[in-house]
Structure 1
Amino acid sequence: MLALPEPHRFVRWEFQDLNTLKTLGKIFAPSAQALTAVWPGVLPGLPPVHSYACSPAAPPVPGEPAEAARLRERMAAAVISKGWAPSPRVQAALRTVPRHRFVPEARLETAYDDNLAVVTVRESPQTALSSVSAAWLQADMIEQLRLEPGMTVLEVGSGGYNAELLAHVVGGRGRVVTVDIDPYVVHRTQRLCAEAGSGRVTAVLGDGALGAPAHVPTGGFDGVIITHTATDIAPAWREQLAEGGRLVVPLDVGGYTRSITLVRRGDVLRAEHWTYCGFVRDRGAAARNVPTTTLANGEVTVRWELGAAGDTSGLDEALRGTRHELSTGLVVAGQFNFETLQVFASTTLPGFCRLSVPSGSELVAQEDAAAIVADGSLAYLTHVQISDGPEPADRHSEFRIHAYGRSGPELAVRFATCVRTWDREVRESGYPSLSVHPAGTPADRLPPGDLIDTPACRMVFGWPGRVPAPRPEHESDTVKMAAGA
């Protein structure tokens, strides 16, 4: 351990945030070099020094606790038994790659918890910047890539463990390129993969929205996997993907994240699979700040998760008025899954947003509620328990709409109609068809469906039984909305 042999020579101690170190003036040169060795880039402009990097081809450090092998087998068995890893290659990767070596900060039991994401870098106690995702989710996303031995894969968002799972699946002739915008994360990944990896992972520093242009194989990557929440589909991900290759991306749709598997067919990506999930946010050039508006003296926050802020004028006055309530008629029992309702509402309701309130708010009955805003009024979706019992099947809840403002009753009817349509047409059908087209694609070349424009693409959602609203006559209407994202 480090020790301080001459404490009497220090007058006082000060603790500094990493991002403020470069403003402090002169720093003792060996200390500065030690800091930048651990956190590359934290002190820019340092003179070069001689260093000896670990070889990516270095053999794994031998030996591991017997408990690690037992816990790894238990984790793999749990993931496999739940159906997340049906293929033999992914099963073998889970049983082989030493997960605990890539989260050395965590206890063995935590490292091998199949349902737990392990945070490795934090911005604050509440905000994670980098993590190793839950093993079941990593297995599912890798399965969706449908990799074969010898393939080359791009991973956007580094950490080490997921990349080594991929390397195990593609085998000795395969290759994995992993890119991250954080120098510390890249340095950490390089070190951990050198110590406990296969030698087939190349960690690159760069903005993941640009892919890895210097490492694209002839014909493109066979698969691309994104390991952070994305609000858009970067053109580079499609352009660097081979024809027929698969892109697996945790896509934010109205504030709801789903891991979506997209297959490249020319310039179009078509969805084949959806999985409910959650990831850390993107930090690259394509990252989007969610516009927000605070109301009622800060008690209510409106979040425009689709990127373009709506008109909230008149809402403060509306929230001081009478609350209108409307039943949707939808009563559900037990632990009810309505994950497709969230995406259905966010892609089909004009003026969609989310409301955040503190616990116990008298204005909004849900701490996080799906809502719509129009004409100085708002309506939001909530559910209330109407019966209780010892068994889940005995507990019933009803979906209701609460609304404020002069147009509140009309908005409540609109939202209730959305819920009833979902219950009748979508509930048993699952997720919609989805095609992702480059930005600027003319409307007459898009398939029928509900259109969501982002800065980089046009997403068309095809919900069963739904006739989408007419599209704007002028393309500039949607381009302006996308540019404001």
Structure 2
Amino acid sequence: MISKGWAPSPRVQAALREVPRHRFVPETRLDRAYHDDLAVVTVRQSPQTALSSVSAAWLQADMIKQLRLEPKTTVLEVGSGGYNPELLAHVLSERGRVVTVDVDPYVVHRTRRLCAEAGSGRVTAVLGDGGLGAPGQVPVDGFAGIVITHNASDIAPAWREQLAEGARLVVPLEMGGYTRSLTLVRRGDVLHCEHWTYCGFVRDRGAAARTAPAVRLADGKVTVRWEDGTPGDTTGLEEALRGPRHEHSTGLIVQGAFNFETLQIYAATTLAGFCRLSASEGSTLVAQQDAAAILANGSLAYLTYRKNKDATNPADRTTEFFIDAYGPAAKEVAERFAQCVRVWDREVRESGYPPMTVHPASTPDNQLPPGDVLDKPSARLVLQWPGRSPVDALSLSTAEGQRA
């Protein structure tokens, strides 16, 4: 963990050495308990669906590091497990305190038992909906940090309200269905993003939990879903999927291993009509089982890629990005998506994630800074992507409003 750079803080390093991780994951073997890149599932709904887990150690260390905690303060964790709050308690030192909240009585009972058996005595496990924070446990000046350990589809107002001024909220937020752990600093009613980490967690089970609207097409072989916003009009798509597929190159050819995680968020927050597309394995209609897509004018376009040069050495292989599209406006919709990829390649690819602020949902448009707006039920996210003019962002906002 330390040699890979995930725990540069001496206090985080000490916590990793001192807290016996295997005591908090009795469900698994010792070697898996101490694997730096594996989460341990502790509660399952089914063999395929996890309800609760102890996250991968590298991710826990990274999120704790991002909180920048001071000793002797009080921190809130939403989503219990036992091991993570004990790491936090060690970072906070003997006079520090951790409040951890979970909606599942079994998880809370498990956390209390394990913390009593192998903990510091400075963790308080509370049964409740984490979307409400921890009423009755909030320090006079607010929590010195809040960490959310489940995928969140929204920024709960209680998290901002219970956070101390200048403190940090670390939350795995879904944007277009893609999850990034965001480090958000409170400045009044606005949260300012200062760090992004690629990640994934179990989903929220509280009152704010959301099931994405979806439409199944082609006898259930293709599913279109909208992780943010309202569903689009799928009229004509059944017929379109029975027609020819239009293949459109973006012109983007990459060599070797290639990271396009910012492209996912860029497309989700700048393309009007954005949605996600999934298909059964081996589908002849859609080349990928999960893809970023857009829907417009009875037509559907999605992002895919294909090897155009194979090689024994992976570094010598090349891959080309394509847009596949169906429908009467396939060429136009495909070109719009392709243009998004080109702009990302030219303006964003080397610059990383953009500045972003999170505002209360009641904030009117004229009080928001310039940028692309992604609306959540309780928050308005404003992303300032390079190469995007105010006119570009306004066009997206107008299109989204018309769609809604």
Deviations, residues 327-380 of structure 1 (Å, cap 9, x unaligned):
101001111100000000000001111111111111001111110001110000
Superposed displacement of residue 326, structure 1: 0.8
Distance 2:229 2:346 in 1: 29
Does 2:26 correspond to 1:104? yes
What TM-score does the superposition give when structure 2 sets the normalisation length?
0.97
Aligned partner (choices 420, 423, 446) of residue 342 of structure 2: 420
The question of whether the paired residues in 1 share the 8 Å contact of 2:270 and 2:396 is answered with: no
Closer/same/farther in 2, CA of residues 279 and 445 from structure 1, 3 Å limit: same
Aligned partner (choices 378, 384, 387) of residue 456 of structure 1: 378
Q: Kindly provide the amino acid, as one letter, of the partner of residue 292 in structure 1.
A: A
1:159-308 matches, cutoff 5 A = 159-308=81-230
The question of whether the paired residues in 1 share the 8 Å contact of 2:235 and 2:298 is answered with: yes
* RMSD, aligned CA: 1.5
Deviations, residues 55-85 of structure 1 (Å, cap 9, x unaligned):
xxxxxxxxxxxxxxxxxxxxxxxx1111111
Tell me the equivalent position of 1:469. Answer: 393
Deviations, residues 169-192 of structure 1 (Å, cap 9, x unaligned):
000111000000000000000000
Distance 1:242 1:116 in 2: 32
Tell me the equivalent position of 1:403. Answer: 325
Structure 1 gaps, min length 5? 1-78
Does 2:36 correspond to 1:114? yes
Distance 1:217 1:263 in 2: 18
Distance 1:288 1:473 in 2: 23
Query: How many residue pairs end up in the alignment?
Result: 402
Superposed displacement of residue 469, structure 1: 3.0
Deviations, residues 229-282 of structure 1 (Å, cap 9, x unaligned):
001000000000000000000000111100000000000001000000000000
Q: Normalized per residue, which structure has more strand?
A: 2
The question of whether the paired residues in 2 share the 8 Å contact of 1:224 and 1:247 is answered with: yes
Tell me the equivalent position of 2:276. Answer: 354
Q: Kindly provide the amino acid, as one letter, of the partner of residue 203 in structure 2.
A: R
Closer/same/farther in 2, CA of residues 471 and 330 from structure 1, 3 Å limit: closer
Aligned partner (choices 74, 79, 93) of residue 157 of structure 1: 79
Superposed displacement of residue 472, structure 1: 8.6
Q: Kindly provide the amino acid, as one letter, of the partner of residue 245 in structure 1.
A: A
1:333-372 matches, cutoff 5 A = 333-372=255-294
Superposed displacement of residue 306, structure 1: 1.1
Q: Kindly provide the amino acid, as one letter, of the partner of residue 394 in structure 2.
A: P
Query: Following TM superposition, where does structure 1 have runs of at least 4 consecutive aligned residues deviating by more than 4 angstroms?
Result: 471-474
The question of whether the paired residues in 2 share the 8 Å contact of 1:290 and 1:307 is answered with: no
SS in 2 for 1:249: strand
Aligned partner (choices 59, 67, 81) of residue 145 of structure 1: 67
The question of whether the paired residues in 1 share the 8 Å contact of 2:73 and 2:96 is answered with: yes
SS in 2 for 1:447: coil
SS in 1 for 2:227: coil
Superposed displacement of residue 307, structure 1: 4.1
Distance 2:229 2:40 in 1: 29
Distance 1:185 1:150 in 2: 26
The question of whether the paired residues in 1 share the 8 Å contact of 2:180 and 2:197 is answered with: yes
Superposed displacement of residue 212, structure 1: 0.1
The question of whether the paired residues in 2 share the 8 Å contact of 1:259 and 1:275 is answered with: yes
Does 2:239 correspond to 1:317? yes
Q: Kindly provide the amino acid, as one letter, of the partner of residue 90 in structure 1.
A: V
Superposed displacement of residue 153, structure 1: 0.3
The question of whether the paired residues in 2 share the 8 Å contact of 1:291 and 1:307 is answered with: no
Distance 1:267 1:135 in 2: 32
The question of whether the paired residues in 1 share the 8 Å contact of 2:272 and 2:396 is answered with: no
Superposed displacement of residue 160, structure 1: 0.3
SS in 2 for 1:81: coil
Distance 1:204 1:393 in 2: 50
Closer/same/farther in 2, CA of residues 472 and 276 from structure 1, 3 Å limit: closer
The question of whether the paired residues in 2 share the 8 Å contact of 1:288 and 1:307 is answered with: no
Structure 2 gaps, min length 5? none
Identity of aligned residues (%): 73
The question of whether the paired residues in 2 share the 8 Å contact of 1:150 and 1:173 is answered with: yes
1:28-177 matches, cutoff 5 A = 79-177=1-99
Distance 2:306 2:98 in 1: 48
Distance 1:308 1:121 in 2: 32
Deviations, residues 305-339 of structure 1 (Å, cap 9, x unaligned):
11421111110000111111111010011111000
Distance 2:229 2:145 in 1: 28
Distance 1:83 1:410 in 2: 45
Rg bigger for which structure?
1
Q: Kindly provide the amino acid, as one letter, of the partner of residue 264 in structure 2.
A: Q
